[in-house]
Structure 1
């Protein structure tokens, strides 16, 4: 699932992107897991990413996950590949300290950028590095529902029964790219058929006045809430032509690889 919120740019009177990794760009390929496994195993999940407006193929996400006996991810590595199959970025994730706030590190070498969460407990240590300038911030772990980076997907799974009952669920999202945390909410946004299967749409947005400035994230899961099928929202990857994140992307998880995708 993506990394749900990396950078925020909110100029007056303009809608602005929140990058959600996860990985929520994110977000969020961790939701493409099958139901609980009988034993520890490995999963490879591929996401195919297009510009939502032009449908130009942008990059491929390859998620390699180690899955515990309960079916939940333990550790993982995500590589981001350009259309020629060359690596653009890499992220490592470790859930052993916290189910919904994993330790992680995202690196984009060409942009001289990295960010992550290095410690999780009663407090959370976050960092970001841009052009060799490193910043760090230690925050108290928020009370109630909380997620960081790809742990957002685990939170959605935990809250799935409430979402299916039509409840709006509220949570804090830790954003290393901003060295802060923000109030968000998620709600059931309808049933549909997607890729010839029954599916559920979940909408995620800031739980504050920022929702009038920030575009929502739309996620499509299978009806069980165990498998992410589609993500629509802002990217956590920088456009090399502009140095800014892709504003609106579509990610399809699984299915036939597009002709434009090159995998190693």
Structure 2
């Protein structure tokens, strides 16, 4: 398959389309391998507006083993604590390309990647009343899906110390993958921990003119400490919000129980926060 979604028209039209696509990309802080043998690993993320700094929402993450399959669950909450969206992640043979399903109950928006046998597809539905759109998705060495970016970073950590590395990141709203490049920006310290800042940008001649995503990973643990860029959460105008998400190491533990996971997986999604 093409790594860059083809669009008709001039380079300017390509740039506009690519900008909409990059605004739909969000790398979520969920690792889908190396799970603890007992219990579920749990950690929190706090999302703030990129400009202004007000709290927008929070993310509660769990990762655990489900009959030998690395599995993840993310619950999104409004500032008042009410949950409004949920994401399920399930590992595949390709650690960089898990299956996932995201549902935002405020509008009925859903997106994801699913597989049956040798066939995989990407899908999106923009609202509860809208039809679901799907497209076939071919797995390959450069394909990265959602939380699989963490596996990509771990596998390419040393390579990223040099030149930019290409990947094909799945953008559900475009029903396909787009070619991006990941490069190391430099070293910094977050919460007293030595870390590395990486940048994800479109791998095109006009990519430098478009928004990018920065992620900061702990040198020692390879855990995500900070995310800066466009979220997979939308505001009241159906635009992906631009955020800074902090993942405090102090709020990461492996003491969550099966009951905690079950509660997060079944709690009604009642939040209505507009996030605008």
- TM-score under structure 2 length normalisation: 0.76
Matches within 5 A, 1:170-249: 170-224=166-220, 226-240=222-236, 242-246=237-241, 248-249=242-243
Deviates more, 1:200-209 or 1:218-227: 218-227
Match of 1:254 among 248, 251, 258: 248
Matches within 5 A, 1:1-264: 12=16, 17-21=22-26, 24=27, 27-30=28-31, 36=34, 39=37, 41-67=39-65, 74-119=70-115, 123-131=119-127, 132=129, 133-141=131-139, 143-164=140-161, 166-224=162-220, 226-240=222-236, 242-246=237-241, 248-254=242-248
Deviates more, 1:216-225 or 1:179-188: 216-225
Structure having the larger proportion of residues in helix: 2
Structure 1 portions without partners, runs of 5+: 1-8, 258-262
Deviates more, 1:59-68 or 1:191-200: 59-68
Q: How far, CA to CA, are the matches of 1:88 and 1:38 in structure 2? A: 28
Cα distance change of structure 1 residues 140 and 123 upon mapping to structure 2, 3 Å threshold: farther
Q: How far, CA to CA, are the matches of 1:55 and 1:145 in structure 2? A: 35
Deviates more, 1:128-137 or 1:82-91: 128-137
Determine helix, strand or coil for the equivalent of 1:198.
strand
Query: How far has the Cα of 1:12 moved from its partner?
Result: 4.6
**What whole-Å deviation, never above 9, does each CA across 1:145-171 have from its counterpart, x for those lacking one?**
22111111111111111113x132111
8 A Cα contact 1:64 1:76, kept in partner: yes
Q: How far, CA to CA, are the matches of 1:255 and 1:223 in structure 2? A: 13
Query: How far has the Cα of 1:214 moved from its partner?
Result: 2.3
Q: How far, CA to CA, are the matches of 1:234 and 1:138 in structure 2? A: 25
8 A Cα contact 2:24 2:171, kept in partner: no
Q: How far, CA to CA, are the matches of 1:233 and 1:135 in structure 2? A: 26
Cα distance change of structure 1 residues 103 and 29 upon mapping to structure 2, 3 Å threshold: closer
Q: How far, CA to CA, are the matches of 1:81 and 1:96 in structure 2? A: 27
Determine helix, strand or coil for the equivalent of 2:210.
coil
8 A Cα contact 1:14 1:213, kept in partner: no
Structure 2 portions without partners, runs of 5+: 1-12, 252-263, 268-276
Query: How far has the Cα of 1:11 moved from its partner?
Result: 7.1
Q: How far, CA to CA, are the matches of 1:199 and 1:54 in structure 2? A: 25
Cα distance change of structure 1 residues 210 and 80 upon mapping to structure 2, 3 Å threshold: farther
The alignment yields a C-alpha RMSD, in angstroms, of: 3.0
Determine helix, strand or coil for the equivalent of 1:119.
strand
